[in-house]
Amino acid sequence: MSNLLQKERQQQTLDTDKLNKFLDPDTENTQAIFKQLISDPILVSKRNYYDLTKPQLRELSAQKIQRLSSYIDNESDEAFENRLSLLAISDPALGTRIGINLALFCNAVRGNGSDEQVNYWLRERGTSKLRDIYGCFAMTELGHGSNVAGLQTTATYNPEKQSFVLNTPELAATKWWIGGAAHSANHAAVYARLISKGKDYGVKVFVVQLRDSNFNLLPGVSIGDIGTKMGRDAIDNGWIQFNNVEIPREYMLQKFTTIDPDGTVHLTPLEQISYSALIQGRVSMVMDSYRHGARYITIALRYAIGRQQFGKPGEENQIINYTLHQYRLVPYLALVYLLGPAAQKLMNDYRVILNDLYAAKNIKKSIFDLKNLFVSSASLKATNTWLISQLIDEARQACGGHGYHAYSGLGRAFQDWSVQQTWEGDNNVLSINAGRSIIKYYEGAKKGKKLGEDFAYLAKTYEKGLDLNDLETYITIWAATIQKVAQHALKIANGNWELVSQERLLLSKFHSSHYLLSEFAKRAESLTGQEKEITIALFKLYSLFFVEKFSGTFLQFKVIDAEKLAEIQSEIKKLFTQLRPHLVALTDSFKYPDEIINSSLGNFNGDFYNNYFGDVVANYGKGDKPPYLEVFSDMLGRKDVDERLSNSRSKAVLTKLGN
Amino acid sequence: MSNLLQKERQQQTLDTDKLNKFLDPDTENTQAIFKQLISDPILVSKRNYYDLTKPQLRELSAQKIQRLSSYIDNESDEAFENRLSLLAISDPALGTRIGINLALFCNAVRGNGSDEQVNYWLRERGTSKLRDIYGCFAMTELGHGSNVAGLQTTATYNPEKQSFVLNTPELAATKWWIGGAAHSANHAAVYARLISKGKDYGVKVFVVQLRDSNFNLLPGVSIGDIGTKMGRDAIDNGWIQFNNVEIPREYMLQKFTTIDPDGTVHLTPLEQISYSALIQGRVSMVMDSYRHGARYITIALRYAIGRQQFGKPGEENQIINYTLHQYRLVPYLALVYLLGPAAQKLMNDYRVILNDLYAAKNIKKSIFDLKNLFVSSASLKATNTWLISQLIDEARQACGGHGYHAYSGLGRAFQDWSVQQTWEGDNNVLSINAGRSIIKYYEGAKKGKKLGEDFAYLAKTYEKGLDLNDLETYITIWAATIQKVAQHALKIANGNWELVSQERLLLSKFHSSHYLLSEFAKRAESLTGQEKEITIALFKLYSLFFVEKFSGTFLQFKVIDAEKLAEIQSEIKKLFTQLRPHLVALTDSFKYPDEIINSSLGNFNGDFYNNYFGDVVANYGKGDKPPYLEVFSDMLGRKDVDERLSNSRSKAVLTKLGN
């Protein structure tokens, strides 16, 4: 059997360096980090990563964190953050387990602490360099996930002792899901209700030490392991209960809220921006969507190109040549391509806006920008973490039975990825919130209110017809539809947002499409030649594929009619034909080393059967007897039931018993 | 916090016994089996089932199989099959691990063996009673999954020794995924190419002993463990290679193909029905879709009714009251209700048709029926295993963060379920095959060809308008659309089926909807009163929800227009309102004991937080230090980098080195 992937690679004509640079302007740095990572014997993920038990995963991830601490000593926060994001492609749980400390805990301090507090907790104590303190982020409770305002843990101020006393008033107030709490963290950023002089001031943030230097729990602190999860078992999520745990007054983070020694509380109107630190997670998840999506679509496409099925012997009937298979995978490749530029723009916006905000240059503008960022990041996080979950599931199915093997990497991928849809803002909640904002922006725009850059399209008019030869069409078809849906939703909601939750959900998804398409179109300007042609084909495919997917809405709102839909369907097929010869190059352009892809089905060399069989035999051996052999031999060797029960149920016995 | 589930249950007005009997006419038997199961200390699934490692799962499942062998001694094959199907609701891998022997191996013998062979292998040897022989089903190869005709393993006849010699000619021909091969089976039904006198007669079935009574591999047989999978790790899938393995001539199964001692092969034209035995898996998976779906939707709905979020203290703001949440879950409840009668009809048809076929009463009619059964079962298997996968994913997400905990049961559910989409006919392959048959049936009907009962609707004409007050409409809207899509596909395919794979996929899905709706409508006739009213609401919701989901197609083919779609959308909302008060009763009506549901979030008592916290503490303890504590303390306690490297990088040293 010839190596179809290699053969196809030899024949392809795209410049993968050029495409790689297009996808990742920072590629030299990325490749340097990949090289360090895969040559590091502790950090590199091996195939048996998929066989490790929960205790093994947790210990290995602790060793990886220790190993990373020697990297962090020599680089900036931002550089290390990027290293971690790249490392998380092949070990998502590791990224999270460190991110709990470096992103969540540290950002809670940065976002809520005074300059002195930030300096003390993060720099003087060394937390941001993985020294002395390992922090966790104690926000969610057993009874309260998305609803932060409803948290029940209390921090009651005692002016005599100038200290707070933390308590968990009931079971549902138990801090729950707290990553790192079970086995890693010695401190926590605790979200609790500030009570002073009998008054409840709402939820504020407190630094609470959980364990001493011998890792013994401090008095009043109860902690346990949450246990096994759907995925990411390397993270030691825990639960925490507080019983009269005392902390000094100074341990409340006091950027926005301050408390005098006598218990007088001062609030500032800027408090709403205290949650700005949480936005990093959402922004990162859009970047994850791009980076992890690239990994999984590469596996499925390489396999689809290299695997033969139903062909006569000698004929190379690759499964990727089936129209349906292209339909299943190629649109997701387009999605990943479009996600690259969008994720980079979002990350860049985030950094600029947060810097401006912390620098307090123009607080009004910063808050305006921040609100827009909240909406776009919510829409992009929700929509794309959903899509990547679908991508992984489709990729798994597209690899057939072998996709179900742990060494495809796709089963674990799904398990690890799934939580991205839920944490740091449940996707449905984020979407309907973003959708409501979009409707309000649209309404505001009609009254002449200023719109943020991402939403400027809501104020434009789209009169031109839909010409598939005009690239603008692929963007404006979304803008026009968003306006119509928003208009419709405004009319029927009439102030009751609950009536239009479906429409809000749609608007959030459509805004993400518009964002991706707009950003990609800008970036594609920089390309030339065949690479430009092919990326434009991906751009078109993304737009049309999703228009067809949501064609019910496009038809209902009369943006297109049945004939235009037929034209779109036929155009999609043409795009598949155009893209087909370039699929190897388009996946190679991600430049992910085999160790990052970590799949028996996704190696660059395309020698699937040898790779896969070799991995299986190396890790699971040959011809072993099961340790519980006697269970089977006892069963198979047992006597016939009549024989076994004959003594006690024979006719003679029954006669004796009855007469 | 009050118990909202209990409160709502007290207020509900449906007769759950009546609904339960409607869903499961055999309910007395079902409940009796459930009772035995949950009172059996080995068979009952406990919460820590979700924590077991692969070796632990495999050993436990072997113990369960041994335990079941004392049940099988006293009941019919059909009764035991039903017991197993019910048991698989809470332990899907166990169902499969036994099914490999009792369904796959035994059916391969039944479907391909002569009467004498069937009698010897299954009864005389005791295989069908889990005695003496544990068989596996060695069909798929590393390089050949769905394409059975392309299998490469050879069985070459040697007339001198009157025996076959089995060989694995290349790596890709390694038997792969063979459930039970790694650690359980001592025999296999091997699918291999029959070669006699230098001629290849295609794939036939051979019984091959793999291991002796001490579980040592026979000469020439190589076997290994496939290893870890996405789910169902209790099954010991293995790979097998044959190197000149000799078996007697009589070990070829000879119902359809016989071989004389001199090597002359006799084929019968009926051979195509040799695969009829494989259909049981597909039919069972439709039943699984109903039975497992009921388990998972119960968890999500109970949680949605009992969980409060975003409510002011004291106000009972249940998450199920959000429109979007109803949109996410209630249509799946409708799906499960509709699946019950459909799965039962399909199972019944299967049993009647296969009995007739084996009895050879009217072989022509049997083959006609069998072909229809192939198409309907393919469409129903593919469509509904996909939908249940979506149901589980949505249920997981609908339980928010807690859904991601292993003890929700939903993560494992997804992992275990996912393979149903792939095995025993990949869903995409089955769908496009079913779709092609539907187009051909439609074409045939126009020429006056006779249609099977399931497809009679293809020959009718649907002229009436769509009146949502007329129950027929909810079925005929599908029939009419199927005809239009089939007509369209015929026109554009013009013999090239590849051009219409999308349409074929749609037709398969739509046929499933038509089948479910038709069967449910018949069954609902038997109900009266409020129970009838509410099941009819579920029937309507199922139809309209999926019409809306595929509204692009319905609009494109002008079965509905934008105004009708708006009417449908508004009707869906009314149905949610109508169904809302009955959701507790509708899930209670499945009558699944807590042990079958096996979820910390799905207990009947609705006391979620106590159940969940109790389960977590019971299984994971409190306040443990990690065994790898020193890894963290070394890292957190390390000295500053300047200090650590100062000896070798200080200015003094560098000056010394440079000058």
CB-count burial class (<10 Å; 0-12, 13-18, 19+) for A209: middle
Beta-carbon separation of B427 and A396 below 8 A: no
Pair of tokens at residue A261: 């020694």
A142 closest CB neighbour out of B230, B502, B613: B613
Residues of B in contact with A54 (CB under 8 A): 51
Beta-carbon separation of A324 and B146 below 8 A: no
CATH match of B427-589 with 1.20.1250.20:
no
Strand locations in B267-324, DSSP E? none
Contact assessment for residue B469 and residue B574, using Cβ atoms and an 8 Å cutoff: no
Residue B490: HSE in the Cβ half-sphere, 13 Å Cα cutoff: 15
CB atoms inside a 10 Å sphere around CB B28: 10
Instruction: Read off the pLDDT band of A314 (50, 70, 90).
Output: low
Distance of residue B94 Cα from the nearest chain A Cα, in angstroms: 14
Residue B303: HSE in the Cβ half-sphere, 13 Å Cα cutoff: 29
Contact assessment for residue B614 and residue A172, using Cβ atoms and an 8 Å cutoff: no
Nearest CA in chain A to B303: A143
A418 closest CB neighbour out of B224, B404, B499: B404
Angle between helices B529-549 and B501-524 (to 10 degrees): 170
Q: Is the per-residue pLDDT at A1 higher than 90? A: no
Nearest of B290, B383, B386, B300 to residue B342 by alpha carbon: B290
In this predicted structure, what is the pLDDT of residue A153? 97
Question: At B193, phi and psi to the nearest 5?
Answer: -75, 125
> What is the rounded distance in angstroms from the CA atom of residue B89 to the CA atom of residue B97?
14
Instruction: Read off the pLDDT band of A312 (50, 70, 90).
Output: low
DSSP of A382-408: HHHHHHHHHHHHHHHHHTHHHHTBGGG
- Which positions ≥6 away from B16 have C-beta within 8 Å? B585, B588, B589, B591
> What is the rounded distance in angstroms from the CA atom of residue A283 to the CA atom of residue B83?
50
> What is the rounded distance in angstroms from the CA atom of residue B142 to the CA atom of residue B168?
11
Point out the residues of B that are catalytic: 424
B419 closest CB neighbour out of A223, A404, A423: A404
**Residue A401 in marked binding region:** no
Which residues make up the CATH 2.40.110.10 domain(s) of chain A? 134-273
Q: Which residues are bridge partners to B178 per DSSP?
A: B238
Which residues make up the CATH 1.20.140.10 domain(s) of chain A? 427-589
Q: Is the per-residue pLDDT at A311 higher than 70? A: no
B555 closest CB neighbour out of A147, A562, A635: A562
> What is the rounded distance in angstroms from the CA atom of residue B62 to the CA atom of residue A408?
27
- Buried residues in B298-316 as b, exposed as e (16+ CB within 10 A): bbbbbbbbbbbbeeeeeee
> What is the rounded distance in angstroms from the CA atom of residue A69 to the CA atom of residue A53?
24
Please state whether A91 falls in left (phi above 0), alpha (psi between -120 and 50) or beta: beta
> What is the rounded distance in angstroms from the CA atom of residue B446 to the CA atom of residue B476?
18
Distance of residue A484 Cα from the nearest chain B Cα, in angstroms: 14
Task: Tell me the mean pLDDT in the region A351-355.
Answer: 92
Contact assessment for residue B331 and residue B275, using Cβ atoms and an 8 Å cutoff: no
Pair of tokens at residue A498: 């609950």
Pair of tokens at residue B525: 């006739």
Beta-carbon separation of B562 and A551 below 8 A: no
> What is the rounded distance in angstroms from the CA atom of residue B143 to the CA atom of residue B409?
34
Mean pLDDT by 10 residues, chain B (659 residues): 87 96 97 97 96 97 96 92 96 96 93 94 95 96 85 97 97 96 97 97 96 94 97 97 98 94 90 75 97 98 86 71 96 98 97 88 90 97 98 97 97 98 95 98 96 97 90 97 97 93 98 98 94 98 98 97 96 97 98 98 95 97 90 89 74 80
Nearest CA in chain A to B224: A622
> Residues of B comprising the binding site?
140, 179
> What is the rounded distance in angstroms from the CA atom of residue A203 to the CA atom of residue A264?
16
Angle between helices B562-579 and B529-549 (to 10 degrees): 140
Residues of B in contact with A1 (CB under 8 A): 143, 170, 172
Question: At B295, phi and psi to the nearest 5?
Answer: -65, -45
> What is the rounded distance in angstroms from the CA atom of residue A602 to the CA atom of residue A605?
9
In this predicted structure, what is the pLDDT of residue B49? 96
Nearest CA in chain A to B140: A401
- Which positions ≥6 away from A385 have C-beta within 8 Å? A285, A288, A289, A417, A420, A421, A427
Residues of A in contact with B177 (CB under 8 A): 401
Strand pairing category for A154-158 and A187-196: parallel
CATH numeric code, B134-273: 2.40.110.10
Beta-carbon separation of B418 and A407 below 8 A: no
Q: Best mutation site among A170, A186, A229 for testing chain B: the one with the most B CBs within 10 Å?
A: A229
B551 closest CB neighbour out of A130, A327, A556: A556
Q: Best mutation site among A65, A184, A404 for testing chain B: the one with the most B CBs within 10 Å?
A: A404
Strand pairing category for B154-158 and B187-196: parallel
Task: Provide the H-helix boundaries in A212-322.
Answer: 279-306
Question: At A247, phi and psi to the nearest 5?
Answer: -135, 150
More confident residue, B654 or A420: A420
Question: Using H for helix, E for strand and C for coil, what is the string for A535-604?
Answer: HHHHHHHHHHHHHHHCHHHHHHCCCCCHHHHHHHHHHHHHHHHHHHHHHHHHHHCCCCCHHHHCCCCCCC
Beta-carbon separation of A609 and B225 below 8 A: no
Q: What are the pLDDT digits (tens) for B379-410?
A: 999 999 999 999 999 999 999 999 999 999 99
- Buried residues in B466-501 as b, exposed as e (16+ CB within 10 A): bebeebebbbbbbbbbbbbbbebbbeebeeebeebb
Q: Which residues are bridge partners to B519 per DSSP?
A: none
Residues of A in contact with B186 (CB under 8 A): 636
CB-count burial class (<10 Å; 0-12, 13-18, 19+) for B134: buried
B635 closest CB neighbour out of A66, A74, A634: A66
Q: What's the whole-model pTM score?
A: 0.97
Residues of A in contact with B65 (CB under 8 A): 631-632, 635
Nearest of A268, A216, A253, A232 to residue A113 by alpha carbon: A253
Distance of residue A53 Cα from the nearest chain B Cα, in angstroms: 7
Residues of A in contact with B184 (CB under 8 A): 626, 632
In this predicted structure, what is the pLDDT of residue B92? 97
Distance of residue B328 Cα from the nearest chain A Cα, in angstroms: 10
> Residues of B comprising the binding site for FAD?
140, 179
In this predicted structure, what is the pLDDT of residue A489? 97
CB-count burial class (<10 Å; 0-12, 13-18, 19+) for A163: middle
More confident residue, A272 or B393: B393
Beta-carbon separation of B396 and A418 below 8 A: yes
Beta-carbon separation of A69 and B226 below 8 A: no
Distance of residue B100 Cα from the nearest chain A Cα, in angstroms: 15
Residues of B in contact with A403 (CB under 8 A): 422
Beta-carbon separation of B616 and A227 below 8 A: yes
Q: What are the pLDDT digits (tens) for A515-570?
A: 999 999 999 999 999 999 999 999 999 999 999 999 999 999 999 999 999 999 99
Q: If you search the block for the tokens 């419709």, which residue do you land on?
A: A488
Q: Is the per-residue pLDDT at A194 higher than 80? A: yes
Q: Identify the weakest region by mean pLDDT among A272-286, A489-503, A626-640.
A: A272-286
Strand pairing category for B163-167 and B154-158: antiparallel
Beta-carbon separation of A74 and B641 below 8 A: yes
As a whole number, the mean pLDDT across chain A is 94
Q: Which residues are bridge partners to A608 per DSSP?
A: none
Nearest of A240, A261, A236 to residue A192 by alpha carbon: A240
Pair of tokens at residue A507: 């608007």
What is the rounded radius of gyration, in angstroms, for the C-alpha atoms of chain A? 29
Nearest CA in chain B to A212: B633
State the amino acid at position A542 in one-letter form.
Y
Distance of residue B551 Cα from the nearest chain A Cα, in angstroms: 5
Q: What are the pLDDT digits (tens) for A86-133?
A: 999 999 999 999 999 999 999 999 989 999 999 999 999 999 999 999
B620 closest CB neighbour out of A227, A327, A396: A227
In this predicted structure, what is the pLDDT of residue A275? 72
Nearest CA in chain A to B67: A635
Distance of residue B585 Cα from the nearest chain A Cα, in angstroms: 25
The angle subtended at Cα A321 by Cα A315 and Cα A324, nearest 5°, is 135
- Told to judge if A424 belongs to the known catalytic residues of this protein, a careful annotator would answer yes
